[in-house]
Structure 1
């Protein structure tokens, strides 16, 4: 097992060192890049040795194997190795110098990453620049190094390989009537790996297309903007050709248009808008570097990308467009589809959850920007009452406070916190009267966090038993609904605010989890804003559900699985990472399903691993589960498209996705049955995953979950061609 692990580690650390040059972890792209570098064997060997040495040095220095395997410490070394392999003949002095160069590059990589991490900025290829400049400038006096003639007699080198087809292909791409703009693009693409020919460029372009349609399109479009800007300003277009500096525009387009920023109209526009400044910077830097007779390489790319990313971090509203990628998935498409899904899933998400301040079913008599009192600085507030089936707030004639259904009902803490202010001793009004001198009536303000407070007002006289400084938990009773203050009839006023005073101006803040009742059906709301006249109720969790989804680190789940052809056992273990993110882990398939459980709601956030694993199906089927049970309740959600749509099916969609989408992936969960409302032992849930192409379902997966004795008894997966049944044995 150790030997196998080491082989996997070294394979990934090597291949990812190549793919990281293009901000990728795609192994097909990596293989094509390695092949391309070996068009010149000694150059390819120099690059490969540089990667191995760099990763070995990082390992010896004790750095995280995860980052080493991702190529984080190897890709700059690769570029230095390829550059040196181009300039010098391979001899003993060269290989000794290669080791020294890798040591310089790795140390600069670590130091630069540590420094820029304080500003949440990438180090890009800065270590490559320092490494290759240091060696090239110093080696002018190293007589043991022999200058290489690579590229001067390229056809002779290809003939020496014995592959006639390779020579013919090279000749076709470099001497045929290919349009100049295409030829320069392909050569610029090849130049990224120090391969100054169109054949290398087209192989890299194929790899880019396989890796990402978005990155591929941006590489072309960004280059075209640069090419035609050179023509427009009358600059020497040959500079793009003979110096191969065009790769700066290609890399910056990919980096800003799709990798560090979420692909969108805005990211594309900024990627293109920054090309002219980069042209100017390239010309200026080129003039300076020509004086010392050394190449500027990727310096313009590093300057423009780092400056722009730093500028974005200084914005007042960091989520403005163009939007930075929050969790890097090393795929422009995945980054985009995750963001599109999360924009709907977490549109109002706040880390500090504020819930409803009551039990049971209430109605919103006045919402935000209300018709009566919720105006100007106090517009983001709610008034709640209780209505009967006839939409009346009271029994009898409603002449007395006690006639109102909400009067004297418990008022709860909407979240964990500390009592900040208490105002009490104010009499309840008779029906129809208002106390305008003591506008808020009996009130309580709770501090939930930094600049986050909630206020309940118009409480019943003498119902508040708490004092300033008392700690409360969500759901604790803090008073009772009354009719004090500016309140002609009993109701509960609730607001969220940034300051600790009674009557502070309100702030727009969503309520975390609640249900909306309409036409005898319930709809679950997650961090949303109750609307006027909505009938809402707080979620009451079901112990059977909370126990089944109680995934604590160390817990193990074992299933007997039958897929119609074989029986096997599958085991998952609950683990957490260094950031305390919890996930289910299947060692057999090396798959992870990350999740969040706030004791009211279980929802999955990210999947890594094989799409044919049982864990993947569980992730899809239990994507979002309210840990309760209500008849006629359904929970809906949108998946990131890449979770359901195979890459081939969404191939064309990827090109248009930053601008418009015609495919979607939908999740729906339904609560089917419970055997006993008071003391249940069995709950059945059904869910479905649908892939839609222009509103037509093209793929559907159905799930059935049986929860029994506070654990998963079984779950069933039905696809178009098979049925999988998993029996849980814990």
Structure 2
């Protein structure tokens, strides 16, 4: 609590424009905290200058667009119009070939993510569930698919090649020391960083804002390793943390960000994390023929289903955190 109070005190002393931008970065992990956002952004630059610059361009573009379009100041101040743009930048630079025009692509995509977010907020308001990273997903899918029409852009080697999914090879158990690295990478992969150091810094940034949030993130990373191993999924993908970043977000959302903390919400979060792994495997098979990555769609889909289900139960209550 002392750490959290300290970080929030510093948050309030940061000049408003910079505070809003950094909160937008922090909201990627549901943290409305400029100090946490600063740690996240520094970690991205440590992982790679290009990724850091792309995230910076994205969060600035999406936040400025929200101001110019006259969206609610309360939501802008909380950084809600910044986190989708933060994700758009590194994502497009990861999956598309780097070129000078790509920076314009990032700016345009980040602006669109703000418009999509406002629209989804309106659509989802009666359901009382957050849009979360859905605007980022829809925007990036559209911009990735659009590259076929432009001579100035081309697919990167990491963008899935359209085709029939192949079966995973038989795998062995992952050594404990590799499991630790995979857990850290699972947290870092939320922002497309393949780095143990970045993952540790992300976890530290979350802990500064909320110890429970950090515990849920770590638990999600562990679920994203254990369940794929038990189900016999691709070992190389597990070691890279690619089955962990969606459970990280799902468990944070259900176990901390949107439902009142309790033993029951923690149990529901673990269930959400497990099903997110299965959902990711299924959606990968569905999207591979289209040549599109799953991104955080498994997390969003599972979060929506679980939060809607929780609203019908007498055991869980929503938090009003404005996230």
Q: TM-score, normalised to structure 1's length? A: 0.38
Question: Could you say which residue in structure 2 is the equivalent of 1:328?
Answer: 321
Shift of residue 226 of structure 1?
3.8
Shift of residue 285 of structure 1?
0.7
Question: Could you say which residue in structure 2 is the equivalent of 1:314?
Answer: 312
Question: Could you say which residue in structure 2 is the equivalent of 1:129?
Answer: 137
List gaps (5 residues or longer) in structure 1.
151-176, 331-730
Question: Could you say which residue in structure 1 is the equivalent of 2:127?
Answer: 119
Question: Could you say which residue in structure 2 is the equivalent of 1:261?
Answer: 259
Distance in 2 (CA, whole Å) between partners of 1:264 and 1:272 is 13
Instruction: Give aligned pairs, total.
Output: 294
Question: Could you say which residue in structure 1 is the equivalent of 2:220?
Answer: 222
Query: Structure 1 residues 203 and 28, CA, compared in 2 at 3 Å: closer, same or farther?
Result: same
Shift of residue 88 of structure 1?
4.2
Distance in 1 (CA, whole Å) between partners of 2:50 and 2:223 is 35
Question: Could you say which residue in structure 1 is the equivalent of 2:102?
Answer: 94
Q: TM-score, normalised to structure 2's length? A: 0.84
Distance in 2 (CA, whole Å) between partners of 1:188 and 1:141 is 33
Query: Structure 1 residues 264 and 216, CA, compared in 2 at 3 Å: closer, same or farther?
Result: same
Question: Could you say which residue in structure 2 is the equivalent of 1:51?
Answer: 59
1:68 pairs with one of 76, 87, 103: 76
Q: CA-to-partner distance for each residue in 1:274-333, whole Å, 9 max, x for gaps?
A: 233222211111111121222101111001110111122234xxxx322221x3287xxx
Query: Structure 1 residues 96 and 225, CA, compared in 2 at 3 Å: closer, same or farther?
Result: closer
Question: Could you say which residue in structure 1 is the equivalent of 2:211?
Answer: 213
Distance in 1 (CA, whole Å) between partners of 2:155 and 2:298 is 27
Q: Is the 8 A contact 1:190 1:204 kept in 2?
A: yes
Q: Is the 8 A contact 1:262 1:322 kept in 2?
A: yes
Q: CA-to-partner distance for each residue in 1:232-281, whole Å, 9 max, x for gaps?
A: 33333433234613111111111101111111110111111223322221
Question: Could you say which residue in structure 2 is the equivalent of 1:108?
Answer: 116
Q: Is the 8 A contact 1:18 1:33 kept in 2?
A: yes
RCO higher in structure (CA 8 A, sep ≥6): 2
Query: Structure 1 residues 136 and 225, CA, compared in 2 at 3 Å: closer, same or farther?
Result: same
Distance in 1 (CA, whole Å) between partners of 2:154 and 2:51 is 14
Question: Could you say which residue in structure 2 is the equivalent of 1:281?
Answer: 279
Structure-to-structure mapping, 1:359-438, within 5 angstroms: none
SS of 1:179's equivalent in the other structure is: helix
Q: Is the 8 A contact 1:121 1:306 kept in 2?
A: yes
Structure-to-structure mapping, 1:454-493, within 5 angstroms: none
Q: Is the 8 A contact 2:182 2:225 kept in 1?
A: no
Query: Structure 1 residues 243 and 289, CA, compared in 2 at 3 Å: closer, same or farther?
Result: farther
List gaps (5 residues or longer) in structure 2.
1-11, 159-174
Query: Structure 1 residues 60 and 88, CA, compared in 2 at 3 Å: closer, same or farther?
Result: same
Distance in 1 (CA, whole Å) between partners of 2:276 and 2:92 is 26
Q: CA-to-partner distance for each residue in 1:175-208, whole Å, 9 max, x for gaps?
A: xx97121111111111111111111111111112
Q: Is the 8 A contact 1:227 1:237 kept in 2?
A: no
Shift of residue 33 of structure 1?
0.6
Query: Structure 1 residues 238 and 86, CA, compared in 2 at 3 Å: closer, same or farther?
Result: closer
Distance in 2 (CA, whole Å) between partners of 1:44 and 1:322 is 38
Q: CA-to-partner distance for each residue in 1:486-528, whole Å, 9 max, x for gaps?
A: xxxxxxxxxxxxxxxxxxxxxxxxxxxxxxxxxxxxxxxxxxx
RMSD between superposed Cα atoms in Å: 2.3
Shift of residue 65 of structure 1?
2.2
Distance in 2 (CA, whole Å) between partners of 1:244 and 1:41 is 22
Distance in 2 (CA, whole Å) between partners of 1:234 and 1:146 is 34
Structure (1/2) with the larger strand percentage: 1
